[in-house]
Amino acid sequence: MPKHKPKRSSPSLDMTAMCDVAFLLLTFFILTAKAKPQETVTVDTPSSISEAKLPEVGTLTILVSKEGNVYLDPAGAPARRALIATMNTQYNMGLSTAEQNKFVNMGSFGAPSGDFKRMLSAEGPERAKMSTGIPIDTVDINKSELASWLHQARLAQFNYKKEAISEGKNPDEVKEYAIVVKADKDTPFSAIEKVINTLTDINLNKFNLITSQEGDPNKSE
Indicate if the alpha-carbon torsion angle 208, 169, 99, 151 is positive or negative: negative
The least CB distance from residue 18 to other proteins, in Å, is 5
Q: Is 64 in the site for other proteins (CB under 8 A)?
A: yes
Sign of the alpha-carbon dihedral angle for 8, 11, 17, 18? positive
Q: Which is nearer to other proteins, 70 or 93 (CB)?
A: 70
CA distance 116 to 4: 83
Q: How many other C-beta atoms can be found within 10 angstroms of the C-beta atom of residue 80? A: 23
Task: By CB under 8 A, tell whether 139 contacts other proteins.
Answer: no
Question: Nearest approach, Cβ of 85 to other proteins (angstroms)?
Answer: 30
Angstrom distance (rounded) from CA 44 to CA 28: 28
Which of 4, 205, 220, 221 touches other proteins (CB under 8 A)? Answer: 205
- Asked if residue 32 binds other proteins (CB under 8 A), the reply is yes
Under rule CB under 8 A, which residues in 164-183 are in contact with other proteins? Answer: 180, 182-183
- In this structure, are residues 49 and 130 in contact, taking their beta carbons and an 8 Å threshold? no
Query: Smallest distance from the beta carbon of 98 to other proteins, in angstroms?
Result: 28
| 185 CA to centre of own chain | 17
- Closer to other proteins at the Cβ: 42 or 97? 42
Integer Cα distance of 5 and 160 in angstroms: 79
Residue 49 near other proteins by CB under 8 A: yes
Interface residues with other proteins (CB under 8 A) are: 11-13, 15-16, 18-19, 22-23, 25-26, 29-30, 32-36, 45-54, 64, 180, 182-190, 192-193, 196, 199-201, 203, 205-214, 216-218
